Structure 1
Amino acid sequence: MSSPTSPVFGKKYSAFLFDMDGTLLNSIAAAERVWSRWAERHGLDVATFLPTMHGKRGVDTIRQLGLPGVDPVAEAAQVTQDEIDDVTGVIPIPGAIDFVKNLPAERWAIVTSSPIKLAKVRMAAAGLPEPKFIVTAEDVSRGKPSPECYLLGAKRVGFDPTECLVFEDVAAGVLAGEAAGSDVMVITTTHTHPLETSHPGINGYHGIVAATDENGNLYLTDNR
C-alpha cells in the first residue's frame, strides 16, 4: 500500500493511462467463467491456467500455449464473443467512476488488452464513462508486456510516455508500463496474491484525489 510520501503522490504528470480490467473495473468473475469453459474443452488444468490469462490479449494467451491443431486467432475470436455475451457481475473498481469523471477528458486514456467491442460492453456494464482516447487489442501488433500499447496511448493523448502515469493491476501490464518509461501505480483491489513489485499500490480510488495545476498537469493526493 502506498503512503502520502510515495514519490508518485504530488508528482506532476501530463496524462494518466489506465488499464481497464482489474484497474477501472472488475470483470474477473465473467472472464474466468468464459475462460474456464474454454480451458476445460481443451483439456487444460483450469486452476493452473486461469492466472496466466489476465492482462494479456486472448490471442497471445492461446498462442503461448502452443496447443496442436488450435488456431489462436479463431479461438480468441470465439472467446471474445463469449465474453461479450457474458458481462454478469462486471462492476467498477471502488471509486473509479468518480475518479475518471473528474479528470480532464484530454488528459487520460484507457489502454486495454481487450478488443474494442468487449471493452465497450464491459465499460457500459460497469457504468464507466468512455474515454476520449482508447487503445485496444486491435491497435497493436504485440500485446502486453510489450510497451507498444502504452507508447501508443501516450501518443494519442499527445505526451511523451515518461510524462504519463500508468495504472495497472497485473505483471504483464506493469512490465509494459515500465518498458514504455512511465511511472506505474498498481491497483490491488482484485489481487488474491500480492504482486511482487516496487511500485506503489492502492486498493481502489476512494480517498485518492487527482488535482490539476495551472498548466493542466495532473497530480495525486492521498486523502484516505
Structure 2
Amino acid sequence: MTQSDALFDGRSFAAILFDMDGTLLSSIEAAERVWTRWAAQFGIDARTFLHGIHGQRAVDSVRQLNIPGIDPVVEAHKIMLAEIEDVEGVRAIPGAQAFVSTLPKDRWAIVTSAPRALADRRLAAAGLSPPSVLITAEDIPKGKPDPACYQLAARQLGWTADDCLVFEDAAAGIRAGEAAGAPVVVITATHQHPMQTPHPTYVDYSGLHATVRPDGRLQLGSASR
C-alpha cells in the first residue's frame, strides 16, 4: 500500500468491526416485506416508519411506534421469526466476502442489531461465514446508537474500540461508532437517498483493500473514490 492510497492518513488499526445489515449484506427487501405485513395488522402504513428501522434493534423500533396495548418484546420476537423465514433477496454487498477474507480471523468482528438466530440465517443466505466474534441484540442491554455493542466487540477481540475501525451504513450505527471513539467508514450500497456524513463513504468494497502490516495491525486503502 502506498501512502497516497492509504485512508485515515495511513493510520493503522488493531481490528475492524462491521455492522451486518446494509454493511456486509443487503436484507432491505426482506426486512421491509416482513415489517410491512406486520404493520398492516395494526392499520399502520409501513412507509411512514420503514426508513427508521434499519440499524437498530426491532424491539426499539416497535417501542418508537407507541402502539397501544402491545408488548414490544413479544412483537419483536414475532417479527424476528418472520424475518428468519423470509430471506429471499438477501445477498452479500459487492466485494464484502473478498474483503473480509483478507483479514486475520482474530482481527475482525460483526456487530449487529439483529438477534443471533436472524444474524446466522442472513449470513448463511448471503454466503458469508460468521467471524469468531459476533455481537448481536441479545449481548447488550442497549442497542445502537449506544456504543456498548462496539466496545464489547473490541474487548472480545482484545482491544479497545478507539483502536478499531468501524464499517457502518445506518445513522444509529454511525453514532454508535462515533460514541465508541472509533473512526467510521460508511457503506451506501442499500441507501436510497444521499447521506450527509463527514466520514469516508463508499458504495461497496470494490475499491477497498486492507493490508496486514508485519506487526499484525491493519491499514485501509482505496483504489479510487
- TM-score, scaled relative to structure 2: 0.95
**Equivalent in the alignment of 1:172:** 172
Residue 182 of structure 2: aligned partner: 182
Q: How does 1:13-24 map onto structure 2 within 5 Å?
A: 13-24=13-24
Distance 2:152 2:195 in 1: 25
Structural mapping, 1:202-217, within 5 Å: 202-217=202-217
**Percent identity, aligned pairs only?**
53
Q: Are the equivalent residues in 1 in contact too, given 2:17–2:167 (CA < 8 A)?
A: yes
One-letter identity of the residue aligned with 2:168: E
Match of 1:218 in 2: 218
Matched residue, 1:153: 153
Residues 9 and 219, structure 1, Cα contact 8 Å, conserved in 2: no
SS at match of 1:36: helix
Q: How many residues align?
A: 221
Contact 2:6 2:221 survives alignment (8 Å): no
Cα RMSD after superposing both structures = 1.2
Deviation at 1:46, TM superposition (A): 1.6
1:127 aligns to 2:127 (yes or no): yes
Q: Distance in 2 between matches of 1:157 and 1:9?
A: 24
Q: Sort the Cα spacing of 1:62 and 1:118 in 2 relative to 1 into closer, same or farther, 3 A.
A: same
1:14 maps to a residue whose letter is A
Mapped to 1, the partners of 2:36 and 2:19 lie a distance apart of 23
Instruction: Measure, in 1, the Cα distance between the counterparts of 2:201 and 2:22.
Output: 13
4+ long deviations beyond 2 Å: 4-10
Structure 1: runs of 5 or more not aligned: none
- The corresponding residue for 1:53 is 53
Are residue 100 (structure 1) and residue 132 (structure 2) matched? no
In 2, are the aligned partners of 1:16 and 1:109 still within 8 Å (CA)?
yes
Look up the SS of the partner of 1:191 in the other structure: coil
Q: What's the offset of the Cα at 1:10?
A: 2.7
